[in-house]
Amino acid sequence: MSNMPTGSESPASKYRAGLPPIWADGLGRSSIRCAQALLVIALAWVILWSATRVPLVIIPVLIALILASAISPLVHWLTGHSWPRALAVLASFVAILVVFGGVITGIVFLIRSESKNLVIKADDGIDRLHSLLNDGPYPVSDSQINTIRNAVQKFITSSTFGTEALSGLRIAGEIGAGAVLMAVILFFMLKDGQAIREFLFGFLPLDHGRRAHRAAERSTVVLGGYVRGTSLVALTDGVIVGIALAILQVPLALPLGVFVFIGGFIPIVGATAAGTLAVLVALIFNGPVPALVVLIVIIGANQLEHHVLQPFLMGKVLSIHGLAILLALAAGTTLAGLIGALLAVPLTAVGWTIIKTWSGRDLPGPEPIDDSAEGAVV
């Protein structure tokens, strides 16, 4: 009988028949798969390593991409009402700047107007905290407090603190330059996103190009839904904590509520970590009982966020297990610090969306953005 493969043989059998005997058995095929997996991992590591070497470019691009996905519905709505695209993008920019600029300006003026009273209250609060530490259930002696204070003063007057301060100035300059670059990139993504996407995907084969367009459309939906949902969740946390602080007459209730709102953009731990400052301020200025009430309010808002708001607002858009979110946060923080923590979850969601779309396993979800939209986000 002939050993030549017949037409009824499976592709796998033909593939094995074309391999040397050492690679044709199960162990050989597994070795080939392992080598392929190692090459893919090496490629991913090179990409990540390269990205972390140019954060001043990569981070503004990623932030602009996320913001463009969230703002694009407003731009589409304006263009649908006969606005020129450039004017619609510019109006969206101005609206965002007015909102954020107004909030920041109001907070600065509020802090300046209360600064004198805050200094007086802070002195009283520190004395009260000192008495609480001396006479509390776990007394802390004056010598221990002085030791901690001397250590802090020694650090402030040391060369290490000066080096850190210079580093902080350099980082502040980089943040300013990155913000300007991000604004420019965001404008062009909103204005010419479709043309940019067509250019990038034009190098792919036709079938791969179609899947890339579909993955980009679904990724835009996921990113936009994530940003808008996270904003609503963070706003709810900030309002709840801010109202509680105002009722308890804790100083700087509005700025602390805004700080909780900003912290809400870091999933799971952000709002709680930001609320720690509110608890500390309440402890210093109002005493232990109001601080305990603030702590209970923050825990309650955290539970509301995890069990009600996030499943309701982002359950269909962000289909990622909590463990995956924690691992993404840990990896993002390790690679890029605070910025990595902010970007880890949306980038993980986009990566998972691309994998599902590319492999054909994407589940029914939100309707993708119209492929014919003139300025669809990249």
User: Whole-angstrom Cα distance, residue 164 to residue 162?
Assistant: 5
The predicted pLDDT at position 217 comes to: 83
- Contact between 375 and 221 under an 8 Å Cβ cutoff? The reply is no
Instruction: Take residue 212 and report the two structure tokens written for it.
Output: 């890339």
The predicted pLDDT at position 247 comes to: 92
User: Whole-angstrom Cα distance, residue 227 to residue 287?
Assistant: 37
Instruction: Tell me which amino acid residue 291 is.
Output: A
Q: What is the DSSP letter of 305?
A: I
- Contact between 222 and 350 under an 8 Å Cβ cutoff? The reply is yes
Instruction: Tell me which amino acid residue 47 is.
Output: I
3-state helix, strand, coil in the chain (%, to 5): 80, 0, 20
- Contact between 263 and 273 under an 8 Å Cβ cutoff? The reply is yes
The predicted pLDDT at position 374 comes to: 44
The predicted pLDDT at position 372 comes to: 44
The predicted pLDDT at position 137 comes to: 60
User: Whole-angstrom Cα distance, residue 227 to residue 313?
Assistant: 11
The predicted pLDDT at position 53 comes to: 74
Q: What is the DSSP letter of 309?
A: I
- Contact between 32 and 150 under an 8 Å Cβ cutoff? The reply is no
The predicted pLDDT at position 303 comes to: 82
The predicted pLDDT at position 375 comes to: 45
Query: Tens place of pLDDT for every residue, the chain, 378 residues?
Result: 444 445 555 555 555 556 677 777 777 778 888 898 999 899 888 887 877 677 777 888 888 888 888 888 888 888 888 888 888 888 887 888 788 777 778 777 777 776 666 666 665 556 666 566 666 665 656 666 566 656 655 655 555 545 555 565 666 677 777 788 888 888 888 888 778 888 888 888 887 788 888 888 888 888 888 888 888 888 888 899 889 988 988 888 888 888 888 888 776 677 778 888 888 888 877 878 888 998 999 888 888 877 777 767 665 666 666 677 778 778 877 877 777 777 888 888 888 888 888 777 665 544 444 444 444 455
Which CA distances in Å does 174 have to 34, 167, 182?
A: 41, 11, 12
The predicted pLDDT at position 74 comes to: 84
- Contact between 257 and 241 under an 8 Å Cβ cutoff? The reply is yes
Furthest-apart CA atoms within the chain: distance in Å: 101
Nearest CA to 72 among 197, 178, 181?
197
- Given phi > 0 = left and psi -120 to 50 = alpha, else beta, which region is 33? alpha
Nearest CA to 78 among 89, 69, 93, 67?
89
Question: pTM value?
Answer: 0.64
Which CA distances in Å does 250 have to 19, 118, 284?
A: 75, 11, 10
Q: Residues 57-66: pLDDT tens digits?
A: 788 888 888 8
- Contact between 232 and 70 under an 8 Å Cβ cutoff? The reply is no
Instruction: Take residue 337 and report the two structure tokens written for it.
Output: 């610090």
